[in-house]
């Protein structure tokens, strides 16, 4: 196997080595520069990415026009706007490279073909979707049950790359707090 990242991403007992090789070769390497919009609001997602290096975020503009970060993606993450991709509808989110990024892209039509011809791939997808749903539910609950300070400390522990490479305003919006509240929390922690 030539690509360790893709091999690890698609590792599943129901995907044999021949099928895994087919999955790996279906991806194409793509690069994005810092600031590039990978997906624009109102566009339909035409695939997903596996992030090899760099940092990416998804964001929306709220009803007041504020830029709100909804997710961060770092190395080994699958960068996807699942609603747009699978329902074939315009995205409400934007996806943007926060740093220069190297990714592996899988086109939607190729994904569909592989999904319907490799049984283990459909099982892998089901498991990935379930994990994503649980992660989203956990984040939703934590936004109302865990303090912003605790969420920030958790983010530092789980994804330090975000703290090092993302603008502070993006982190604050992801945590659901104002820039000034975030500044206060950072000062408390540094003491």
Q: 166 and 93: one domain?
A: no
In angstroms, rounded to a whole number, what is the distance separating the alpha carbons of residues 60 and 58?
7
| Res 145: pLDDT | 97
The CATH number covering residue 119 comes to: 2.60.120.10
pLDDT digit string, tens, across residues 110-155: 999 999 999 999 999 999 999 999 999 999 999 999 999 999 999 9
Provide the domain count of the chain: 2
Question: Does pLDDT of 191 surpass 60?
Answer: yes
Domain that holds residue 180: 146-191
- Domain check: are 78 and 42 in the same one? yes
Give the whole-angstrom CA distance, residue 86 versus residue 143: 27
102 φ/ψ angles, rounded to the nearest 5 degrees: -115, 130
């Amino acid at each position: 196997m030539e690509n360790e990242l893709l091999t690890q991403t698609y590792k599943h007992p129901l995907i044999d080595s021949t099928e895994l090789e087919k999955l790996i070769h279906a991806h194409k390497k793509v690069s994005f520069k810092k600031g590039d919009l990978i997906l624009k609001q109102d566009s339909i997602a035409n695939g997903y990415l596996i992030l090899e290096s760099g940092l990416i975020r998804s964001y929306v503009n709220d009803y007041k026009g504020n830029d709100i970060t909804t997710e961060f993606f770092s190395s080994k993450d699958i960068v996807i706007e699942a609603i747009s991709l699978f329902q074939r509808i315009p995205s409400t989110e934007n996806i943007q490279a926060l740093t220069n990024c190297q990714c592996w892209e899988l086109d939607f039509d190729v994904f569909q073909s592989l999904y319907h011809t490799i049984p283990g791939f459909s099982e892998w997808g089901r498991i990935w979707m379930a994990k994503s749903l649980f992660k989203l539910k956990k984040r939703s609950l934590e936004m109302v049950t865990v303090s912003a300070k605790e969420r920030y400390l958790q983010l530092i522990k789980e994804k330090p790359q975000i703290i090092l490479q993302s603008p502070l305003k993006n982190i604050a919006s992801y945590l659901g707090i104002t820039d000034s509240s975030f500044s206060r929390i950072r000062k408390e922690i540094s003491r």
